[in-house]
A and B are shown apart, each in its own frame.
Chain A
Amino acid sequence: RKEVEQDPGPFNVPEGATVAFNCTYSNSASQSFFWYRQDCRKEPKLLMSVYSSGNEDGRFTAQLNRASQYISLLIRDSKLSDSATYLCVVNMGNAGGTSYGKLTFGQGTILTVHP
């Protein structure tokens, strides 16, 4: 089983649509969680952190379910500029703390928003 698994996608949606991405992680000792965005032929950039209580940033909402080891990202009112690859990222800390800084990325989900 991969350490971080995402919906394979790709997702093709019209402008204005709502789209949701899911992600699961294998290490129950994981400490922190993020969504990154990567545009074509560019480097990944932080989109938002994911907090236990869930958090929202404009049209973007992130949820975390520690019991199920599941993370989600919801994008409302999709824009053409949202077209990118969305990467689920987990800090794979362990109980001993020996790999606390290790950020592990999912494979990514490609989103294309069309007019």
Chain B
Amino acid sequence: DAGVIQSPRHEVTEMGQEVTLRCKPISGHDYLFWYRQTMMRGLELLIYFNNNVPIDDSGMPEDRFSAKMPNASFSTLKIQPSEPRDSAVYFCASSLTAGSSEAFFGQGTRLTVV
């Protein structure tokens, strides 16, 4: 299995531009998570899906952020418009079930907004 695949690995964009991050979870995993990591705040859960349905989006910072999961094998996190404070590493993770199962992380997308 290729694991969780994220793209792009690195993204540099100008303030005000739209940014779309992509994730392909491990096949058969029912849960998908989007996290953001910064030095100041650590790993923050933004949103998670169960069977393609958003369950908890309370971590999404503001309306500029949106996430979708149109099918079991693909999810996107969109930032529009982007701001310099959005600069961070964004991780996607998936797990087989809730609760006691391991979450597998992708390699992350390092976003820089200038």
Please tell me if the beta carbons of B99 and A31 are within 8 angstroms of each other in the complex: yes
Is the interface on chain A under 10, 10 to 19, 20 to 34, or 35 or more residues?
Answer: 20 to 34
- Pick the most buried of A31, A42, A44: most chain B CB atoms within 10 A of its CB: A44
**In chain B, what residue has the closest Cβ to A43?**
B105
| Chain B residues whose C-beta falls within 8 Å of the C-beta of A100 in the assembled complex | 98-99
* A95 contacts B by Cβ under 8 Å: no
B56 within 8 A of A: yes
- Interchain CB contact under 8 A, A103 and B103: yes
Chain B interface extent, by class: 20 to 34
Q: Which of B13-21, B42-50, B60-68, B76-84 contacts A (4 or more CB under 8 A)?
A: B42-50
Interface residue A80 (Cβ < 8 Å from any Cβ of B): no
Question: In the complex, what's the smallest C-beta–C-beta distance from A81 to chain B, in angstroms?
Answer: 20
Decide: A46 near B102, CB < 8 A? Known: A105-B42, A105-B43.
Answer: yes
A66 within 8 A of B: no
Given A43-B108, A44-B105, A49-B43 contact (CB < 8 Å): no
Told that A43-B91, A49-B102, A103-B103 touch, could you supply 19 new A-B pairs with CB distance under 8 A? A32-B99, A34-B102, A42-B107, A43-B106, A44-B91, A46-B102, A91-B99, A91-B100, A93-B98, A100-B98, A101-B31, A101-B50, A101-B56, A101-B95, A102-B55, A102-B56, A104-B45, A105-B42, A108-B43
- B interface residues (Cβ-Cβ under 8 A, vs A): 31, 33, 35, 42-43, 45, 48, 50, 55-56, 91, 93, 95, 98-100, 102-103, 105-108
